[in-house]
Amino acid sequence: MTIFTDTTRERAREIIARYPADRSRSALLPLLHLVQAEEGYVSPAGVAFCAEVLGLNKAQVGAVATFYTMYKRKPTGDFLVSVCTNTMCNVLGGQEVYDTLSEHLGVGHDETTADGTITLEHAECLAACDYGPVMTVNYDFFDGVDPSTAVGVVDELRAGGRPMPTRGARLCTLKEMAVQLAGFADERDGAVADGGPGEPTLRGLRLAQQHGVSVPGFDPNTPIRSKAEADKAAAEAKAKAEAAKPAPVEASAAPVKGGDGASAPTGVAEPAAAAGSTTRDVKAPDDKSPQVRTAETRQPDADTAVPDAPGTKAPADSSGTAPQAGDARSAEAAGVAANAPAGDGKPAGDEAGAQERNLTEAKADTDADGAGSADASETGAQK
C-alpha cells in the first residue's frame, strides 16, 4: 500500500479547508486529482486515502472516481494524448489521426506505450469544434492536426522534448497537471507565460471592435464591489421598488355577488365573463390544487363541474346534445367488460383453438410443397 507523502497530506488538509465544515465532502473531486498527482492514477490506496480524510467509505469514493474519465484507474503515461473522434473532428479527419497514432505507437484506446511515456485515448468531444481536428496532450490543445503533425508531436515527446501547444501554457507531465487540477498553481518558472488564444476564439471580439459593439455602460475599470457593498445596493434597490408600488385600491362598501349567487367578500370584484362562455364564472374551492381545478373545469361529466365552464364549451354529439354526468364512466365500464384481463397462464387472445388452427395450416402448406412428414412436423411446430 502506498504511503502518501507529508506534502500530499498537507495539501489534502488545505483542500478540505476551502469548504465549510459541514460540506467537506465537496473536496472529493480535487482530492482525487491530488492522489492521482502522486501515483499517476487513482489507485485503491488513493481511494482509501480520500475516504479516510473525508470520513467516507471506499464505495462512495469509488463511485465518483469511476464516473469521471479524467480519473484514471490504472497506471498512465507521463503524457495523455487524447484525439477527438466526435462528429465535427471526425468529418475533418480525427479518426484518421487516431488510427495513425494507434498504429505508430502500437497501442489502442486507454493503453500506454512500453516505455511508459504516452497513453493514447480517443475522446468523444474536446469542445474545440472550430479548431478541428484537435488533440490534447495532458489537456493542452494542439489544433488543426493531421496524421503527420500528430506523429511529430508524440515522437518529440518520446524523445524528451516538450512541443508547444497551439493554445495554453507550456506542457507539463500528467502528474504535474493533476496538481493544478487539484487547485494549486503551476510552480514552474514562466510556465504560464507562453501560448495565447486562437484566432477563432478572438473572432467575436474582433467583429465587436470592428462594428463598435459593446455592452451598454460597460467600464472595464469598474472596481468589483465587496459583499457588504453589494448587499447594501441590493437593499436600497428593494426599498426603492417597494416605494414605487401603487397604493392598494380601497374596498367597495357594497357586496358583490359571486358566480353562484352568494355574496362575495367585500372589495372583491366579479371577474369578467370568459370569451366563448355562456355561463358565469364559478369560484373553485381554495383547498384544491390548480391541476384538480383545471380537470374539473374541462371535464363536463365530472361530478363537480359546471355545464359550461369559463373559457370552454361542453362537447356535444351530432344532435347537439351534451353528454350527461356518468356517460364517460359507463363507456369505460363497457370497454373493460369487452376486454377481459389476461389470465396467469396465457396472454389475452392466446387461445388453444387458434394455435391448433395455425399449426394445421402450416402443416398443410408444408405438405403441399413436398416436404417430409418429419420436417413438416418440425416446421409447423416452430411456426
Q: How do the pLDDT tens digits run along the chain, 383 residues long?
A: 457 888 899 999 999 999 988 888 899 999 999 999 998 999 999 999 999 999 888 999 999 999 998 999 999 999 999 999 999 999 999 999 999 999 999 999 999 999 999 999 999 899 998 898 999 999 999 999 999 999 999 999 999 999 999 887 889 999 999 999 999 988 887 777 676 778 888 888 899 888 888 877 777 777 777 778 888 888 998 898 888 888 776 655 555 555 455 555 554 455 444 444 454 555 544 556 666 666 666 555 545 444 444 444 555 556 666 555 556 667 777 777 776 655 444 444 445 565 567 667 777 776 776 654 455 445 445 54
**Grid cell in block for residue 297:** 373545469
Contact yes or no for 136/120 (Cβ under 8 A): no
Hey, what amino acid is at 78? D
pLDDT at residue 315, as a whole number: 52
93 CB-near residues (< 8 Å, 6+ apart): 133, 146, 147
pLDDT at residue 181, as a whole number: 93
Contact yes or no for 44/51 (Cβ under 8 A): no
Calpha distance 318→281 (Å, rounded): 27
Calpha distance 66→300 (Å, rounded): 55
Calpha distance 319→322 (Å, rounded): 9
Q: What are phi and psi of 163, to 5 degrees?
A: -60, 145
What pTM, to 2 d.p., does this model score? 0.55
pLDDT at residue 378, as a whole number: 52
Cell 364512466 belongs to 329
Instruction: Choose among 128, 261, 250: nearest CA to 198.
Output: 128
Calpha distance 72→80 (Å, rounded): 10
Hey, what amino acid is at 198? G
pLDDT at residue 355, as a whole number: 59
